[in-house]
Structure 1
């Protein structure tokens, strides 16, 4: 039996791989996995759910380049903004940086630097009547609806981690951290959820 025959090579990446022996050699089988375990999770009036945003590509325009025609019907977002069209989202993710989510990136050769970020980030939703109270325990953003309304994006800390925070509704957020931080994010959010639920039970 060769080294690849029936060998299973698990990793902590976004994709599990295994090799299957065939007459002509080995075929690699890939299975997408989530970075989180134990979700969905509801504590008190808040629920955490892992979700797959689809392909994620960072778009960083070169100085002086106009991306409007190449990105249409999307528009490169202003700081904190999100552009949505045709099932795609272009989310502001930092200075001169946006994440294209939900589909492949158009050809931006000569206009912008693009990088596949799909496997590099872990995404979840935080939703429920106490979602703001939970996130406020970990994030320094002003989460009042007047300051951070639905349809806005920010780069901020969540606990000790750099994160992308997207408000999708009055009581709903999408959070993304580097995939290696997924366990820490889940741990911190779970603790905050328990704290808010315990306080409400007093």
Structure 2
């Protein structure tokens, strides 16, 4: 009987560098989808504050504390990153998404210009600052984009779209680097 071999979503695809830009793997150790049960929103926020000094994010927001983050991903839902979701049991629908997503990190001068070629939102740091997140399109793919604490951009796409996302971003990186 054949056995499956677990492989990271971005294995062999990154890192990629062009000009002063670098695209790398930013995979969190754990991704849990959190959707508070009806009437449990305040209890979820209280449990998050007690367990990891986070609350439930407002639309288009990322909250972080002590290495853990929670990212708004849509109405009534968020991704809890790099922390144990056990304190939320019974308060929210919790789904492990760790193997379903690829997370890319784009950094360097011109990162916003790269993604401006692919996404329909304004990612300039004055508009899309630290703590911002957006669920949007990256080319033809659904993506979650967030501004990391250090100013880099993180792009989350479905694992099945990892190769396409890397290709699209790399093409845009080359174009921006060629102008520099």
* TM-score between both structures, scaled by the size of structure 1: 0.80
Give 1:45 shift: 1.9
Partners of 2:69 and 2:149 lie apart in 1 by 16
| Count, aligned residues | 175
Give 1:109 shift: 3.4
Which of 128, 135, 151 is the aligned partner of 2:108? Answer: 128
Tell me, yes or no, if structure 1 residue 143 matches structure 2 residue 123: yes
Larger % of helix: which? Answer: 2
Instruction: State whether residues 9 and 159 of structure 2, in contact with CA within 8 Å, keep that contact through their aligned partners in structure 1.
Output: no
Match of 2:99 in 1: 119
Partners of 1:153 and 1:92 lie apart in 2 by 7
Tell me, yes or no, if structure 1 residue 98 matches structure 2 residue 98: no
Greater C-alpha Rg: 1
Partners of 2:83 and 2:149 lie apart in 1 by 22
Partners of 2:151 and 2:46 lie apart in 1 by 35
Tell me, yes or no, if structure 1 residue 68 matches structure 2 residue 48: no
Match of 1:197 in 2: 177
Give 1:194 shift: 1.0
> What is the aligned-residue RMSD (CA, Å)?
1.7
Give 1:74 shift: 1.3
Tell me, yes or no, if structure 1 residue 86 matches structure 2 residue 66: yes
Instruction: State whether residues 102 and 162 of structure 2, in contact with CA within 8 Å, keep that contact through their aligned partners in structure 1.
Output: yes
* TM-score between both structures, scaled by the size of structure 2: 0.89
Match of 2:32 in 1: 57
Structure with more relative contact order (C-alpha pairs < 8 Å, separation 6 or more): 2
List alignment gaps of at least 5 residues for structure 1: 16-31
* Structure 2 residue matching 1:163: 3-state secondary structure: strand
Partners of 1:130 and 1:169 lie apart in 2 by 17
Partners of 1:155 and 1:33 lie apart in 2 by 23
Instruction: State whether residues 48 and 87 of structure 2, in contact with CA within 8 Å, keep that contact through their aligned partners in structure 1.
Output: no
Could you list the per-position Cα deviations for residues 54-99 of structure 1 after superposition, in whole angstroms to 9, with x for gaps in the alignment?
1110001122212122212210011111222232111111111110
